[in-house]
């Protein structure tokens, strides 16, 4: 009987943990929200004030959509004066790639 209880408890724990993992943010999403969303918007669309004052375009803009992943990674790594800061040395290459991948989902 105790073997059944142990197995049931283990199964319940696995089910609960797998559900929690499904709701977890990806690393790209977390990085984007903490470093990028303030200017680029939580869904890849900047506020009108940011767009007008800094020239930030939405992810769906054709000029943004036409950028390759490599170009976006280079911009994120090295910055784009006068407003886009460089994240080289502040984020790892993997964090930069993951945040770019997440941002690119808004263009679809």
Q: Which single residue is written with the structure tokens 């797998």?
A: 18
Q: What is the pLDDT of residue 21?
A: 46
Amino acid 17: pLDDT: 59
Phi, psi (deg, nearest 5) at residue 56: -75, 125
Looking at per-residue pLDDT, the higher value among 50 and 12 belongs to 50
Averaged pLDDT, 75-86: 96
For residues 94 and 28, what is the distance between their CA atoms, to the nearest angstrom? 9
4: confidence class by pLDDT, cuts 50, 70, 90: confident
Domain boundaries, the chain: 26-107
What is 26-107's CATH number, 1.10.3260.10, 3.40.50.2300, 1.10.760.10, 1.10.101.10? 1.10.760.10
Supply the pLDDT for residue 10. 56
- For residue range 83-96, list pLDDT tens digits in order: 999 999 999 999 99
Q: What span, in angstroms and rounded, lies between the C-alpha atoms of 106 and 100?
A: 10
Share above pLDDT 70 across residues of the chain, in percent, rounded to a whole number: 79
- Residue located via tokens 């460089």: 86
Q: What is the pLDDT of residues 22-53, one digit of tens each?
A: 445 689 999 999 999 999 999 999 999 999 99
Is the pTM value of this prediction over 0.85? Answer: no
């Amino acid at each position: 009987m105790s073997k059944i209880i142990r197995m049931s408890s283990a199964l319940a724990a696995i089910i609960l943990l797998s559900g929690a993992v499904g709701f977890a943010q990806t690393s790209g999403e977390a990085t984007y929200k903490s470093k990028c969303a303030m200017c680029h918007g939580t869904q890849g669309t900047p506020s009108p004030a940011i767009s007008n004052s800094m020239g930030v375009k939405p992810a769906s803009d054709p000029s943004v959509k036409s950028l390759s992943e490599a170009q976006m990674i280079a911009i994120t790594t090295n910055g784009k004066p006068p407003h886009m800061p460089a994240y080289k040395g502040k984020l790892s290459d993997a964090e930069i790639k993951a945040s770019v991948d997440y941002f690119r989902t808004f263009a679809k």
